[in-house]
Amino acid sequence: MTAFAVDTGKVRLTKFYFCLGLLIIALLAGAVRAQTIYAGADKRPDSTHYALALQQIGNLDDDLALRGVDDRQGLPFGIRSDQHVKRLQLDLAYRRSPALIEQLSHLNVLLNGEVVSTISLSEPRHDEDGWNRVKADLPTQLLQPYNQLAIQLIAHYTLRCEDPVHPDLWADIGKQSRLIFDVEPLVLPDELGLLPSPFFDPRDVRRLNLPIVISGVTDARLEAAGVLASWFGALAGYRGAHFPVSTDKLPEHGNAVFIGRAAEGVAGMNLPEPVGPTVTIRPNPNDPTGKMLIVTGRNDEEIMSAAKGLALGAQTLSGATAQFNKLQVEPRQPYDAPNWLPTNRPVTLGELLPVDDLTRRGRAAPPISINLNLPPDLSNWRIKTVPIKLRYQQSTTSDDDEGALNVSVNHTHIARFPLADRMKTGQQWMSGDLSAIQRTVHVPLDKLGSLASMQFQFGYRVPPQEECRNSLLDSRRSAIDPESTIDLSGIPHHIAMPDLAAFSTSGFPFTRMADLSETIAIVPAQSGPSEYGALLTLLGRAGRVTGYPATGIKVKHGAEAADLVGKDILLIESGKPSPLLTQWADRLPQAERSDNHAAAVSGWKPGDIITRLSNLLGTRTHPSPTAVSARSSPAYFAGFESPVSSSRSVIVARGKDGQQLLSAVELLIDNEAQAQRVQGGLSIVYDNRVESVSKGRTYYVGNLGFYQTTLWFFGRYPLALIAVYLLGALLAGAVFYSILHARARQRLRIQDSDE
């Protein structure tokens, strides 16, 4: 037997190099895999690095004001469920009183109640606008799905005894301050129970941008897409929503919605054959970190059922796939949109705002704000005000406090109620509690509009303080009772049309029915992604207004007159005018005619006689001298009465091509200032600006009732009233003449018989 000597050192070294090689190979493989998985996410806009201004996070109109020796203001913000925050930074803009003692005054940054940074006020760092700028890193380990960011001011202006509410104790936090996020994507499970995330995440305050892929476009599939667009629009709310449309390919990155049959799958979508209306969620084939929400069925009817089931019952779904049985949707009633203030009963303020948000602390607390969405066709012809039965209470006060409750609408002062003189100016409504008062406030209806904000501001005079006394204890508590009511019942619905402002702000007249069941949308026969995207973006805005999916919408690629009877019509146009628009060219506020075609005027349609008389006596309004013709403009919105049905409306959204049409529609979402310029009967869009031209014959939508309509008609047209008076006088004269003539003849016969 031969013995071999083994060099154990060399063996160990060989094993070491072998293991090291395996480790390097594993690391390289992991890096390649990670690069493959996250390459798409890195290319996504704002997927790894984005900033949110405090104005956007808190929907702020003004800067955050900090007052006194110790004051703080906070804002909530959330973290998307499909993102992990690697780094979070606060880019703070502030101004402060020059009288503050730099060594004793500072700003604290708090995250979820923990002080995470202290900013000294000793070194000014002014930017071009005169704001001090400073950046602070926030610890990501404190982050939760929902977070609270607060800025605290500690301020002193003297080394001696100081007044805790001295006017020199102040600092302002600029609304342009930002939170800067550095994030990486997370892969979520294929779980419908997470809906609406990740397609819409309520923690994300940015505008929703959700691609929708429609395979084998048909009218029914466009309707299904409209249902989902309006649902996501309702969820997005104030954020706004855009829906880029594709018909032949999936998005390269992120989340998307797919609508179509399995057998007609777009490249990359290998779907099993469904057995009924089906909704499923799976990874995006082009981006493993993204998700596809797939709405499918064996035919168009089942696809529509799946879309309705998803929009109305998403909160009940679970698992990766769900199927729907026969779906029954309750019919909606006019003006019953969830986001609109009911007009058939008094509404308590507790229904509009949580009880905690109706309470304020301190002598100079911020106002209590309540947003109101009203139908835009409320008539103020005979009813000028809206009654608010206001109940409020506050901590026991003395007459020296000079406290008051100021009521404003859209920051316009409406009423002021002193708080100290309770027995003289208020009515006791809670036995034994003299701080609880009931008052009635009459708010002018024309001050409300379709979008209104009511502010209730409690304010108290700060009592004078002697030097070197105890600090001021601010223990004030003020509240609006949640049983306070606002009452719109009894106000009729009646509005002069066309009114593109009502369409721009409230989607009217389509949103009169929350499910858009009395609306038909007509798209060009040769439509493409831009036209479909414009339609879905408008339907998303309608969902934002109503808070309900458009389960009753009808969509047609071109339509016959019989399809339009009894419907409000949304006409999507691009390129060459459609036959329908050509036929109705003379109805446009500014006619757009073909060179060789003159449209015939449709005859009178049966309708309300008084309304028709109003139209007959109405006068045309003329455009301003600076108006640009609709025909030469890149895009425009127009409104006129439907030639098919009286008191029904046609809204035209038209662009010279699909992209200009889509840009004009997106302007309504992205630019609030320009959207407010969409008014009258014609609004022309060019260079991202809107110019409105009122032109066309006025018609009326709604019903005042026979008696009120008669009074309104004669009040608007006094010549008609004079004519009625003259006719009445002639009739009365004829009656009296007949009576007197008959009596004279009878008397003559009696005389003849006596002779």
Give the domain CATH number at 579.
3.30.379.10
Q: Taking a C-beta distance cutoff of 8 angstroms, is the pair 651, 668 a contact?
A: no
Name the 3-class secondary structure at 493: strand
* Measured distance CA(280)–CA(269) in Å, rounded: 12
Pairing mode, strands 682-686 and 635-641: antiparallel
528 phi and psi angles, rounded to 5 deg: -135, -170
Instruction: Please count the other Cβ atoms lying within 10 Å of the Cβ belonging to residue 380.
Output: 16
**Co-location of 536 and 665 in the same domain:** yes
Counted domains in the chain: 6
For 616, the token pair is 């007959």
Q: In terms of Cα–Cα distance, which of 203, 104, 217 is closest to 146?
A: 203
Q: Taking a C-beta distance cutoff of 8 angstroms, is the pair 243, 536 a contact?
A: yes
Name the 3-class secondary structure at 180: strand
**CA distance readout (Å), 460 to 71, 285, 420:** 17, 62, 10
Query: What H or E segment, with its residue span, contains residue 171?
Result: strand 170-173
One-letter-per-residue 3-state SS of 45-88: CCCCEEEEEHHHHHCCCCCEEEECCEEEEEEEEECCCCEEEEEE
The amino acid present at 647, given as its one-letter code, is S
Query: Would 314 be classed as within a structural domain?
Result: yes
Q: In terms of Cα–Cα distance, which of 615, 701, 645 is closest to 334?
A: 701
Query: Would 385 be classed as within a structural domain?
Result: yes
**Co-location of 264 and 314 in the same domain:** yes
At residue 404, the pLDDT reads 86
Low-confidence ranges of the chain (pLDDT < 70): 1-47, 123-128, 262-268, 396-402, 420-436, 462-475, 590-632, 695-696, 706-709, 711-712, 715, 752, 754-755
At residue 13, the pLDDT reads 46
**Co-location of 244 and 266 in the same domain:** yes
* Measured distance CA(363)–CA(419) in Å, rounded: 12
**Co-location of 234 and 289 in the same domain:** yes
At residue 265, the pLDDT reads 61
Name the 3-class secondary structure at 555: strand
**CA distance readout (Å), 83 to 33, 186, 283, 537:** 19, 5, 16, 26
Q: In terms of Cα–Cα distance, which of 734, 733, 581 is closest to 655?
A: 581
* Measured distance CA(64)–CA(175) in Å, rounded: 7
Tell me the DSSP string of 351-406.
Answer: GTS-GGGGEEESTTPPPEEEEEE--TTB--SS--EEEEEEEEEES---GGG--EEE
The amino acid present at 100, given as its one-letter code, is L
For 582, the token pair is 């050509």
Q: In terms of Cα–Cα distance, which of 357, 356, 352, 330 is closest to 341?
A: 352
Q: Taking a C-beta distance cutoff of 8 angstroms, is the pair 374, 340 a contact?
A: yes
One-letter-per-residue 3-state SS of 215-265: CCCCHHHHHHHHHHHHHHHHHHHHHCEECCEECCCCCCCCCEEEECCHHHC
The amino acid present at 736, given as its one-letter code, is F
At residue 374, the pLDDT reads 93
Pairing mode, strands 451-459 and 368-373: antiparallel
**Co-location of 354 and 409 in the same domain:** yes
**Co-location of 530 and 396 in the same domain:** no
State the DSSP code for 563: G
Query: Would 467 be classed as within a structural domain?
Result: no
Query: Residue-wise over 341-356: b if at least 16 C-beta within 10 A, else e?
Result: bbbeeebebeebbeee
637 Rama sector, left if φ>0, alpha if ψ -120 to 50, beta otherwise: beta
Query: Would 29 be classed as within a structural domain?
Result: yes
**Co-location of 565 and 426 in the same domain:** no
Peptide bond into 509 cis (omega under 30): yes
**Co-location of 227 and 271 in the same domain:** yes
Give the domain-ending residue among 168, 185, 202.
185
Q: Which residue has the tokens 């009924």?
A: 276
At residue 437, the pLDDT reads 84
Contacts of 524 (CB under 8 A, 6+ apart): 531, 557, 558, 572, 573, 574, 575, 578
At residue 312, the pLDDT reads 94
Query: What H or E segment, with its residue span, contains residue 146?
Result: strand 146-154
Instruction: Please count the other Cβ atoms lying within 10 Å of the Cβ belonging to residue 174.
Output: 22
Q: In terms of Cα–Cα distance, which of 244, 253, 258, 252 is closest to 294?
A: 258
Residue-level length of the chain: 755
Task: Point out which residues pair with 378 in neighbouring strands.
Answer: 493
At residue 533, the pLDDT reads 95
pLDDT in tens, 81-105: 999 999 999 999 999 999 999 888 9
Q: In terms of Cα–Cα distance, which of 647, 646, 650 is closest to 638?
A: 650
Task: Point out which residues pair with 685 in neighbouring strands.
Answer: 635, 690
Q: In terms of Cα–Cα distance, which of 354, 330, 331, 351 is closest to 340?
A: 351
Alpha-helical regions (H) of 658-705: 658-670, 672-675
Instruction: Please count the other Cβ atoms lying within 10 Å of the Cβ belonging to residue 599.
Output: 17
Contacts of 99 (CB under 8 A, 6+ apart): 157, 168
Query: Would 676 be classed as within a structural domain?
Result: yes
**Co-location of 313 and 246 in the same domain:** yes
pTM here? Answer: 0.83
**Co-location of 152 and 216 in the same domain:** no
At residue 401, the pLDDT reads 63
* CATH for 368: 2.60.120.260
Parent domain of 677 = 493-594+609-618+631-703
Query: Would 500 be classed as within a structural domain?
Result: yes
Q: At what angle do helices 718-754 and 706-716 cross, to 10 degrees?
A: 100
One-letter-per-residue 3-state SS of 73-139: EEEEEECCCCEEEEEEEEEEEEEECCCCCCCCCEEEEEECCEEEEEEECCCCCECCCCCEEEEEEEC
At residue 127, the pLDDT reads 66
Q: Taking a C-beta distance cutoff of 8 angstroms, is the pair 81, 155 a contact?
A: no
* Measured distance CA(434)–CA(431) in Å, rounded: 8
The amino acid present at 381, given as its one-letter code, is W
Query: Would 164 be classed as within a structural domain?
Result: yes
Q: Taking a C-beta distance cutoff of 8 angstroms, is the pair 181, 77 a contact?
A: no
* Measured distance CA(41)–CA(86) in Å, rounded: 15
Instruction: Please count the other Cβ atoms lying within 10 Å of the Cβ belonging to residue 678.
Output: 24
**Co-location of 22 and 119 in the same domain:** no
Query: Would 235 be classed as within a structural domain?
Result: yes
The amino acid present at 500, given as its one-letter code, is L
**Co-location of 545 and 516 in the same domain:** yes
* Neighbour-count burial of 340, counting CB atoms closer than 10 A to its CB (0-12 exposed, 13-18 middle, 19+ buried): buried
